[in-house]
Amino acid sequence: MLLIVALIVLLIVGPFIAIALNRRYGFAANALVVVLLGAALLPRTLVTLVPSPESTPYDIASASLNLQTQTIAFVIAAVIVLVGAGRVRLPLALIVFAVLLSAGMFISWQGTTPEWSGYLSLIGAVIAYGVGWAIGREAFNRVDVARLLLILILAVLVIQLAVAVLQLAGVSLPTGLVNSERTLEQTSGRVSGTIGHPANLSKVAFVLMLLSLPFTTAAEKRLSRLAFACVAVAALVGGLTVSRANLIAMAVLLAAWVLTFPGRARIGTRIGGAIVLVGAGTVFAPLVLERFQDDAEGGLRPLLLTAALRQLREDFLIGTGPNAYIAVVGKVDAATASGYPVHNAFLLLTAELGVLLAFLFFLPLLVVLVWGIWRFRRSDQFMHTPRVLVYSIPGLGVILLTGWGMVSVLLVGLWMFTVGFLSSSRAGVTLQTAGSLERELETESKRALAPSR
């Protein structure tokens, strides 16, 4: 009911807001609002198109064929970009992936309702990459768009933090707001915000942190401070989820970023950041250690991994079909039949789609990470995005190798949007970093002091 009321209000006032945003910022503004609202704040099922029996197993998407707000958001955002004379750029790997995936639905797999549900989720992720690239080109080259991006990210994170605090306080919130009837925050001190699960909320916080970090180096003070605020709130939201893998990813990323913060005269920033990290570690480390003590082996993870490796030995070329892993592997493995896929994003997609399609899907991520390593020493030319990418590698490894949430319908679109966004910096960045501005001023000063000939 709450979601319906919100949609009605949005339909009434939305057009006026959209016109105002477009006049001031261009197409990127409305695309940003749609993406963050549908994918980072309120990822939801809007309507069921084709229902599936309740007993039907599923993993990366719902069993029924639904219209999801996140998928719709990226489609609408792509239309906004194209109508606004923007460009939705897709790498060749994702184009080939989409073509082969579509062909496989008719040739290789059974084409069940859960499989079509998984198919739509993955196609939505492909579109999300293109939208991320288009918005990234605007944000990395226009201060006003970058500022709007950070304001919207901060708004999303503050709302998530507010909901999280209410959950910790034991306030009963509407299911339509929190997207779940579970009460993990009451039984184990973990929060889920409006996402529905603590692990997914922490992944959203981690993704929004990646989007914000490059702008902490901006020469414009207001922009960099806004970016620091986004990073700080994202870390706080992530900490409250007590999600082990995601907290480790955030801790490694932030520690590397703060202790090697780019630019000169940053000793105060480094010391202050280190103090904050130590304080946060003091607060959250006992909670994480307690979770490790309660579940040192990760529950069924070892058994689920064994089942996945067995499935890959038998079939690594075609796969079970998208969103069909549990349905197929669960017939021969009791742990998988309990309703959980292998907690490894790479293995899960390989088992579902085959090694070629899985490789094509992850190739854009691999390319941008390799580019980050290659351009690390010249990262100031790209708003220090290469530095962000390199520092994110350990955390990404932990997240993708110990869980499958990043390829699930709730997160895969937002994740691919982020990959596209950060990849757009490869085309060049015009926003200045504090370090580059300092060098320019130093050069101008030397020129002014040099004796004339």
**Torsion region of 104: left, alpha or beta (phi above 0 gives left; psi -120 to 50 gives alpha):** alpha
CA–CA gap between residue 202 and residue 436 (Å, rounded): 33
Q: Which amino acid is at 348?
A: L
CA distance readout (Å), 410 to 124, 201, 297 = 11, 10, 26
Residues of the chain falling short of pLDDT 50: 183-187, 265, 292-298, 440-446, 448, 453
How big is the chain, counted in residues?
453
pLDDT score recorded for residue 185: 45
Q: What b/e string do you get for 247-283 counting C-beta neighbours within 10 Å, with b at 16 or more?
A: bbbbbbbbbbbbeebbbeebeeeeeebeeebeebeee
Structure tokens at 240: 């409250």
| Tokens (6 digits) for 61 | 């998407």
Query: For 84-142, where are the alpha helices, taking DSSP H only?
Result: 92-107, 113-139
Name the packing angle between helices 244-259 and 221-241 (round to 10°): 150
* 3-class secondary structure, 331: coil
Alpha carbons within 13 angstroms on the beta-carbon side of residue 409 total 31
335 close to 307: Cβ distance less than 8 angstroms: yes
Q: Please state, in angstroms and as integers, the Cα–Cα distance from residue 150 to each residue in 43, 231, 391, 412, following that order.
A: 20, 10, 21, 21
The pLDDT of residue 450 is 55
pLDDT at 432: 82
**What is the DSSP-derived secondary structure letter of residue 321?**
-
DSSP state of 39: I
**What is the structure's pLDDT at 187?**
45
How much is the pTM?
A: 0.90
Q: How far is CA 365 from the centre of its chain?
A: 12
User: Residue 276's pLDDT is what?
Assistant: 59
**86 Cα distance to chain centroid:** 22
Phi-psi region of 339 (alpha: psi -120 to 50; beta: other; left: phi over 0): left
Residue 378, judged by CB atoms within 10 A of its CB (0-12, 13-18, 19+), counts as exposed
Backbone φ and ψ of 47, nearest 5°: -155, 145
Distance from C-alpha of 154 to C-alpha of 156, rounded to nearest angstrom: 5
Neighbouring-strand partners of residue 50 = 65
- The pLDDT, as a whole number, for residue 275 is 62
Cα-trace Rg, the chain: 22
How many Å apart are CA 8 and CA 128, to the nearest integer? 25
Note the pLDDT of residue 180: 74
Q: Which two tokens stand for residue 106?
A: 């008719």
